[in-house]
A and B are shown apart, each in its own frame.
Chain A
Amino acid sequence: MSATTTSQPERVRVRKNFDQVAWTWMRYSAVLLIPLAWFHLVLQDVVVGVHKITTDYAIERMANMGWKIYDILLLGFAFAHGMNGVRQVFRDYIHNPKTFRAVSILLLIFWAVITAVGAVALLSINPAAQ
């Protein structure tokens, strides 16, 4: 005998919301940042060795286009995580929606500028020219 007359739908569709996307992004990006950070740590401090990291080593590595792109993407990604966190902190303090929107845009610009500066700096490293 069936003990139910379930009225509840099995699945519901909920319209996406920016805060939902931002919240979810924070979780997934945080999870991804863990192996990225560990990879970085293990590579530099164990595989390469912390005493071997010199300006020469850094310049040599940055000659590789693959590493350049990797580092630019890592910068953009980790920094976006951070800026989104800052944005969520501001949520608690800025109650005026217009002000909040303006601040969010400023954070976005800040993120874009810093990432761009970083990218330019990385790309401009050219050991052959020295």
Chain B
Amino acid sequence: MANIHQFDVIVVGGGGAGLMAALNASKTARTAVISKLYPVRSHTGAAQGGIGAALGNIEEDSPDWHTFDTVKGSDYLGDQDAIEFMCHEAVQAVLDLEHMGLPFTRTADGRIAQRPFGGHTNNVTGKPVRRSCYAADRTGHMILQTLYQQCIKNNTLFYDEFQVMDLLLVDGKAAGVVAVELATGELHVFHAKAVIFATGGHGRIWEITSNAYAYTGDGCAITARRGIPLEDMEFFQFHPTGIFKLGILITEAVRGEGGILFNAKGERFMEKYAPRIKDLASRDVISRAMYLETRAGNDVNGQRFFYLDVTPETVNKYADLDGRTRPDGTPYHVTAAEIMSKIPDIADFCLTYLGVDPTRQPIPVQPTAHYAMGGIPTDKYGRVVVDEKNTVLPGLYAAGEVACVSVHGANRLGTNSLVDLVVFGKHAGLDAAAYANGADFTPLPANPTELVDETIARFQNGSGKERVAKIGSELRAEMFDNVGVFRTQESLEHAVEKVKELRERYLQVKVTDSGKIFNMEMMQTWELGNMLDLALVTAVSALARTESRGGHARDDFPARDDVNWLKHTLAWMNGDQVTLGYKPVVITKYMPKERTY
């Protein structure tokens, strides 16, 4: 029999959202964090450029402008009540992080430094605004470290390197989770009043991705298997500036500091696609522009990449052309040393992986799968909602990239992922603790580990005719080619069929490692199953949506269609069948308009 633990609140995942939830839940409720990685290994730490908040430390700004920019960035698919809530909470959230000790870069007068970022504008002038609060180009690292430090101070209880494999729902309420302890292979049942999923995204289903190996969509797949729908899964952000071939992220802050994108002809091509804010247009717009440039034969060497140039000569030349100034009104001119101090890690990545010094040479970049706008549907308190009417499932929460509130709609603005995880991590934690304090434990099912036992037995007894690595690489290639930046009916139908075929073949895999201690092969086999589920939901959701909006761009339906498609997709999984439903977008102040930058 498995080991049984009891907690008021269980947080699954130790990244930014999970740690934020744990810090807040543990103020009033017995809380534990279960994480498949040591929390400091989480992918929050890879976030670079900054966290958006209208502090107005350098120039005039307002949370309302942040709200509008986010609504517009979402291509009007974000829920405006939630966006407004997030952008107003963002200011306090950033100050809270500072009070916890986060070492933000500082302005000369000692305040938190801010810089421009894609899609963040002064709503009066339409020009970029300095809203991204940053710590060099390691803002995510600092957030993750700071939150982990606070957890140590707070004596937060961690179950590190425990992989949650199943969610227990009894009588329509959350009852706990089942996890395997990687170090021993033992199963543990965590009986809880409230469960918060903060497991991150699933970018690993694409070939070129900025995402960590750990980003296999575990949370979405576990909940989908238990009958909870997934929202807006067709919307996945391709970040325009990943390192060529490797997909490692080159932050938007490089363009915020003045970097310019060029095609093979040496043209600053973003002038054509976003005449007003050019290289600081939002990510979906630039990724699409790169695709169109590629189709026109303007990519470098016909290899589908472009150059991002942040050498001082280029930065200064175009800053003069754009009339860019510093806060004190002097022309914006930079030196190589200043660039290095603003983006030290980027410079390090370029030198390590490309042998390129970004202050002297341009960086080869291409779109890279980056962020899941979709996920487990929640309200703004992180409560999971399970149908078109937003019915809450008592005791179940989600926050961070795994969740779809939806504040990012069809496309997330840069810096808003960190805002999302801090704000909604906090509120999910607070609400879960409040709920747990007013609720009783739901009794565990008779055999709580049944599904996990079955899954493990299936892996051990498979025929072994198929191999996990082979299926995984075929999946990633298929998704990148056919469910990538641009999609068509044909490519999506191909992808649906291919993923179904891979799912068939997946039933034939066998885990050759028969041990219990750190059976990483078992874990990766299970993770592949999650990715296959999410790939299918993504492709089916994308096939149904016959319009182009934000991160979902259809060659055969190039226009946004607000009449038929201003609505969220909900997808339920049942074996190989995906059932789709839709729910309306919450619109409060901002009526959908054409989106230009």
Secondary structure of the A contact surface, majority rule: loop
Residues in A with CB closer than 8 Å to B109 are 1, 3
Within 8 A of B (CB), among A1-48: 1-5
Please measure, in the bound complex, the distance between the C-alpha atom of A4 and the C-alpha atom of B107, giving whole angstroms. Answer: 11
B321 within 8 A of A: no
Mark each residue of chain B from 80 to 120: 1 if its CB lies under 8 Å from any CB of chain A, else 0. 00000000000000000000000000101110000000000
Please measure, in the bound complex, the distance between the C-alpha atom of A44 and the C-alpha atom of B108, giving whole angstroms. Answer: 62
Secondary structure of the B contact surface, majority rule: loop
The CB with the most chain B CB atoms within 10 A, among A1, A2, A3, A5, is that of A3
Closest residue of chain A to B106 (Cβ to Cβ) is A3
Name the distance in Å between B390's Cβ and chain A's nearest Cβ. 45
Name the distance in Å between A44's Cβ and chain B's nearest Cβ. 54
Please measure, in the bound complex, the distance between the C-alpha atom of A1 and the C-alpha atom of B110, giving whole angstroms. Answer: 10
Please measure, in the bound complex, the distance between the C-alpha atom of A3 and the C-alpha atom of B57, giving whole angstroms. Answer: 13
Name the distance in Å between B98's Cβ and chain A's nearest Cβ. 12
Query: How many positions in chain A have a CB within 8 Å of any CB in the partner chain?
Result: 5
Please measure, in the bound complex, the distance between the C-alpha atom of A2 and the C-alpha atom of B106, giving whole angstroms. Answer: 13
Please measure, in the bound complex, the distance between the C-alpha atom of A7 and the C-alpha atom of B184, giving whole angstroms. Answer: 46
Closest residue of chain B to A5 (Cβ to Cβ) is B110
Please measure, in the bound complex, the distance between the C-alpha atom of A1 and the C-alpha atom of B111, giving whole angstroms. Answer: 12
Closest residue of chain A to B110 (Cβ to Cβ) is A3
Closest residue of chain A to B111 (Cβ to Cβ) is A3
Mark each residue of chain B from 254 to 288: 1 if its CB lies under 8 Å from any CB of chain A, else 0. 00000000000000000000000000000000000
Name the distance in Å between B112's Cβ and chain A's nearest Cβ. 12
Closest residue of chain B to A3 (Cβ to Cβ) is B110
Name the distance in Å between B20's Cβ and chain A's nearest Cβ. 24
Name the distance in Å between A130's Cβ and chain B's nearest Cβ. 74
Name the distance in Å between A114's Cβ and chain B's nearest Cβ. 49
Please measure, in the bound complex, the distance between the C-alpha atom of A57 and the C-alpha atom of B110, giving whole angstroms. Answer: 71
Please measure, in the bound complex, the distance between the C-alpha atom of A2 and the C-alpha atom of B108, giving whole angstroms. Answer: 10
Residues in A with CB closer than 8 Å to B106 are 3
Name the distance in Å between A4's Cβ and chain B's nearest Cβ. 6
Name the distance in Å between B99's Cβ and chain A's nearest Cβ. 12
Name the distance in Å between A63's Cβ and chain B's nearest Cβ. 68
Residues in A with CB closer than 8 Å to B108 are 3
Residues in B with CB closer than 8 Å to A1 are 109
Please measure, in the bound complex, the distance between the C-alpha atom of A1 and the C-alpha atom of B109, giving whole angstroms. Answer: 7
Residues in B with CB closer than 8 Å to A5 are 110
Please measure, in the bound complex, the distance between the C-alpha atom of A125 and the C-alpha atom of B106, giving whole angstroms. Answer: 72
Residues in B with CB closer than 8 Å to A4 are 110
Closest residue of chain A to B108 (Cβ to Cβ) is A3
Please measure, in the bound complex, the distance between the C-alpha atom of A4 and the C-alpha atom of B110, giving whole angstroms. Answer: 6
Closest residue of chain B to A4 (Cβ to Cβ) is B110
Closest residue of chain A to B107 (Cβ to Cβ) is A3
Please measure, in the bound complex, the distance between the C-alpha atom of A73 and the C-alpha atom of B108, giving whole angstroms. Answer: 57
Please measure, in the bound complex, the distance between the C-alpha atom of A82 and the C-alpha atom of B106, giving whole angstroms. Answer: 49
Residues in B with CB closer than 8 Å to A2 are 110
Mark each residue of chain B from 333 to 345: 1 if its CB lies under 8 Å from any CB of chain A, else 0. 0000000000000
Residues in A with CB closer than 8 Å to B110 are 2-5
Please measure, in the bound complex, the distance between the C-alpha atom of A5 and the C-alpha atom of B106, giving whole angstroms. Answer: 13
Residues in B with CB closer than 8 Å to A3 are 106, 108-110
Closest residue of chain A to B109 (Cβ to Cβ) is A3
Please measure, in the bound complex, the distance between the C-alpha atom of A123 and the C-alpha atom of B217, giving whole angstroms. Answer: 83
Please measure, in the bound complex, the distance between the C-alpha atom of A1 and the C-alpha atom of B108, giving whole angstroms. Answer: 10
Name the distance in Å between A23's Cβ and chain B's nearest Cβ. 29
Closest residue of chain B to A2 (Cβ to Cβ) is B110
Please measure, in the bound complex, the distance between the C-alpha atom of A4 and the C-alpha atom of B111, giving whole angstroms. Answer: 9
Please measure, in the bound complex, the distance between the C-alpha atom of A75 and the C-alpha atom of B569, giving whole angstroms. Answer: 86
Name the distance in Å between A7's Cβ and chain B's nearest Cβ. 11
Name the distance in Å between A110's Cβ and chain B's nearest Cβ. 44
Name the distance in Å between A3's Cβ and chain B's nearest Cβ. 3
Name the distance in Å between B394's Cβ and chain A's nearest Cβ. 44
Closest residue of chain B to A1 (Cβ to Cβ) is B109
Q: Besides A2-B110, A4-B110, 6 other CB < 8 A contacts? A: A1-B109, A3-B106, A3-B108, A3-B109, A3-B110, A5-B110
Q: Show 7 A/B contacts (Cβ-Cβ < 8 Å), sorted by A.
A: A1-B109, A2-B110, A3-B106, A3-B108, A3-B109, A4-B110, A5-B110
The 8 closest A-B pairs by CB, nearest first: A3-B110, A3-B109, A4-B110, A1-B109, A3-B108, A3-B106, A2-B110, A5-B110
